[in-house]
Structure 1
């Protein structure tokens, strides 16, 4: 990243351009896509195909791109000139097929322009509208001109181009790049390109942000004592996940003093209860306070594993669980129910009888050097209290002895992964290793390794299952996984296997490769006493599901399903944002009819989670929320893609309870719940005084 005269900018593969002025983020990404007129098909996207980025000098980046089939190529130069960023594209097309280019010059970050204006050319400025809740780009368009200026009291951004450009409101737009972020899309929607003739596109951004004194003088003085500087949070908590049967009285409560009495012995997981309560409440140090009698244990409740019974009386508490998981869930529920009333920590009296509707309630995560610390916090604070019990860990990037030449800076130590798997098992969570074993194999070919096993060595993405050496090496890798991790389930991946590296679409040929590899993977799982699990898109045709139908047509999809060993678990992923459950039913039924066990696999979109989870409840199958927030699991990537993790609250709730309310009818906001759980803060029990210090002058932030 470069910094000079208040302007910072960076260019990355897949992400494109980001820019800030005086520390204020203004551009959060860029991309280009080649496509057939009418979007009948796509030829290339810079968001999915990596580019080469080079630093030419202290002020210049060059980005070079090329498609796998050679039809698309070109370069982009980004050059800083004072407060301007000058951009030049060269777009090449080597095919007789008609093509257009959608070029997003910049995803403009909207918050700095809140309450501001947009000016088109020499026309008078007009206010930027509130979020436009329409479905198409045309309906969301806020500007079309070669000169556009976004301005507010705090900042100004001028865009000047040789061609008229479009700006449209992308807030709430149903595309994964929008990711529900407050963005304004700025660029060109249909640039024509012709075979053998480079197309040049030139534009520039001018940034105008007031500079700030880096070391302002501050004169501190005492401000009079504030009588209510700290005050208790007395909000009644939402019960998440929704209990199956709940007869509780929020008006009649039992007081939690922080002191306890054990008439039947200290219950298992009692220390966990104390920890979760003390994370949220600042208990009095008064040792003469009344002790709360509490008892409980594991019991045969005739409930599904993880079920529990919680009884709160005015003067005592009892907790019973179906196995360790059930007792732990009772502890989490009791801690969740606590709130402040009249200067005391209280819980409502009554009884909760609860159990999950499914045995599979999971989250999909990656690994990495920082994964153990991050994931333990995520699960201890959020996912375990919400009742999740499976984690699919995509762990190709691990120091596997079978593949010693493919490590990079995202690779996790094998010993750390072993320790993390052991930790999950102690929490009654089944860890499921996911290692791509046919397509999406870029990790397998890293640093030029194993290219002799690639289907296309020029575009190393899929292994060639026709080569016995390919099947043998994948088998050795999974044997190592079985030895060190001892998992019950193998997830072989297998989604989007011909997305890259194939000269043309040939579904029958891909089916032949599939029919070679799937039985081999079944043998690998069987000899290691593991259940088989795969993604489901390659076994579905457009007639079988709402989306994610890479089986191409009915015949090829049927043949591919037939090659999968019966009884396999199918992570049936569909990401359509639709609260209606009916479109999601068909794929689940397709898998069940053919003796597979589908798992309804969602993404972060709330509508997707509600619709697919309700379908899963109807079909009595499990649920899995997938995350695609970079190939490395850590807190930094979580923050970058926070919506994907906040959505885990919804996924856990619907996945456990089988509730059917629409998202807008829930009694909580997932983002607020996630923030409170992931980073809990103590609340005082009574209003507290405090003395503040400062100059007494207004404080400007940002």
Structure 2
């Protein structure tokens, strides 16, 4: 027995010494640029010698209770990577092999620092959000295969990073009015945003072709408005040809709450969009009394812009205020998007009721009537502590006092709004519409038109040189838009989004002077391996064609 115990002691001593030696072995390893394929590119990054070995002794330390969710999130990432449980603690022991999460009020609002040595990792942010972004950079330093399988030995290259985003608004949009997608996919989409350090998800919930959010006070919005009798086949506008298949669906309020909470854990704000005064066919089919007496109405079965819009009468404002009250209860976002685009004025020109409002309010024309409409909604939302975002058409007839503008018809609308002192999100169709083709249409799935390859997205500069220095501060950032007329499945959405979202993430995060297409492309090849590990369906053109074509075509209508 003494002999056996002696042997066991020797084994324990040997194992302990061997473990010590294994750390020492990684202390002086030389790293190179290729070991740091982080997208979006950090503001400052200094390569160091050594690598951190992730093993059974690694622990995650968070001394501030605010970081508990970030610690748990990192623990799950590392458990997937290594197939080993990673111990969480809020007590730091100096001699432990640790990943330490900290808060430091001296850092920028969304900034973080990431310090990796062979024996310790420190991730520090001003807020939990900054720490979360630091974790995303750490994630990019793990082998791509670690996203879905345990790896026997994982080492992470030493580095010191100081980082913060260039823009405060880094967004992606998704239209679920034309085609909607399961809750699980919406979460998967949010995961993609999180991986790319994006912080806004613009959720387009109502359209001519479908109302997709439950409003308890107005049940017909989902009973009637969420269902269209069929869908146009491809681009058979004239003569029209439908598929004869009923299409419908909506998100319950419980599902919306679940998605909002999921996004909040990833530090993503969901901005809901409730369209007005146009793109209202689904609502008018549900409550025809809100129209300009041009019914009967039905949920649209083809794509495009329709003359039928809300009537500017008191019943409409009551309805919209009731709807927005329920929306505000579900979404804590400061911003509520109210659309405001593509609202033909034909019905208002021919409506006695609309003309009466124009005369009563001393308005010049139907454009000023739309401004009156938007301003009434803005006052209501402002009174509840919220602000509106609208597409750049809300500039026409006079901009609502506190409105933020999304400039989609090029850059000019955003420039004009910024000159007037309004905040702007740049999302021009030329560069930010991810429903456009990425290659020769003959070899691509059906899309709305246009041509926007990855290189063109990467070339986008959100802040125009023509703006005066004191007005540039109004450019909050940029957003990629995903309109789903021709995207029937979540796989197709992924294909149209990736890797264009990756290019956009660097546009809105990284310093302009550090952006370099060739360097980005090298890092993107590494990110492609991560796409594969995560099971995303992505477009491969940029990977197959190093000289990706950068010609442009006219953008398509929204």
Instruction: Give the TM-score, by structure 2 length.
Output: 0.64
> CA separation of 1:362/1:678 partners in 2, compared to 1, >3 Å: closer, same or farther?
farther
Aligned to 1:491: 337
* 2:218 aligned with 1:403: yes
CA offsets 1:286-340 (integer angstroms, 9 cap, x no match): xxxx973222222213312x21111111221111112011111111211211239
Q: Distance in 2 between matches of 1:615 and 1:628?
A: 24
Aligned to 2:287: 449
> CA separation of 1:659/1:375 partners in 2, compared to 1, >3 Å: closer, same or farther?
farther
Aligned to 2:140: 336
Instruction: Give the alignment of 1:551-630 within 5 angstroms.
Output: 557=396, 560=397, 562=398, 564-574=399-409, 584=411, 586-601=412-427, 602-604=432-434, 605=452, 606-615=454-463, 619-620=472-473, 621=475, 622-630=477-485
Aligned to 1:319: 123
Q: Is contact 2:480–2:501 with CA below 8 Å preserved after alignment?
A: yes
Q: Distance in 2 between matches of 1:608 and 1:538?
A: 27
Q: Is contact 1:614–1:659 with CA below 8 Å preserved after alignment?
A: no
Aligned to 1:521: 377
> Aligned to 1:444, what secondary structure does the other structure show?
helix
Quote the offset at 1:345 in angstroms.
1.8
Quote the offset at 1:347 in angstroms.
1.6
Q: Distance in 1 between matches of 2:288 and 2:332?
A: 26
Structure 1 unaligned segments of length 5 or more: list them. 1-233, 540-556, 576-583, 682-702
Of residues 47, 50, 63, the one that matches 1:252 is 50
Q: Is contact 1:297–1:319 with CA below 8 Å preserved after alignment?
A: yes
Q: Distance in 1 between matches of 2:526 and 2:118?
A: 30
> Aligned to 1:492, what secondary structure does the other structure show?
strand
Q: Distance in 2 between matches of 1:589 and 1:420?
A: 34
> Aligned to 1:436, what secondary structure does the other structure show?
strand
Q: Is contact 1:616–1:623 with CA below 8 Å preserved after alignment?
A: no
Q: Distance in 1 between matches of 2:280 and 2:134?
A: 42
Structure 2 unaligned segments of length 5 or more: list them. 1-32, 87-94, 146-150, 207-211, 228-247, 298-305, 351-363, 435-451, 536-558
Q: Distance in 2 between matches of 1:631 and 1:435?
A: 21
Q: Is contact 1:478–1:524 with CA below 8 Å preserved after alignment?
A: no
> Aligned to 1:300, what secondary structure does the other structure show?
coil
Instruction: Give the alignment of 1:223-622 within 5 angstroms.
Output: 236=35, 238-249=37-48, 252-261=50-59, 268=68, 269-280=70-81, 292-304=97-109, 306-339=110-143, 344-367=153-176, 370-380=181-191, 382-396=192-206, 397-407=212-222, 408=227, 409-446=248-285, 449-450=287-288, 452-454=290-292, 456-457=294-295, 461-498=307-344, 509-537=365-393, 539=395, 557=396, 560=397, 562=398, 564-574=399-409, 584=411, 586-601=412-427, 602-604=432-434, 605=452, 606-615=454-463, 619-620=472-473, 621=475, 622=477
RMSD: 3.8
Larger RCO (CA under 8 A, 6+ residues apart): 2
> Aligned to 1:513, what secondary structure does the other structure show?
helix
**Larger fraction in strand:** 1
> CA separation of 1:325/1:262 partners in 2, compared to 1, >3 Å: closer, same or farther?
closer
Instruction: Give the TM-score, by structure 1 length.
Output: 0.52
> Aligned to 2:281, what secondary structure does the other structure show?
coil
> Aligned to 1:667, what secondary structure does the other structure show?
helix
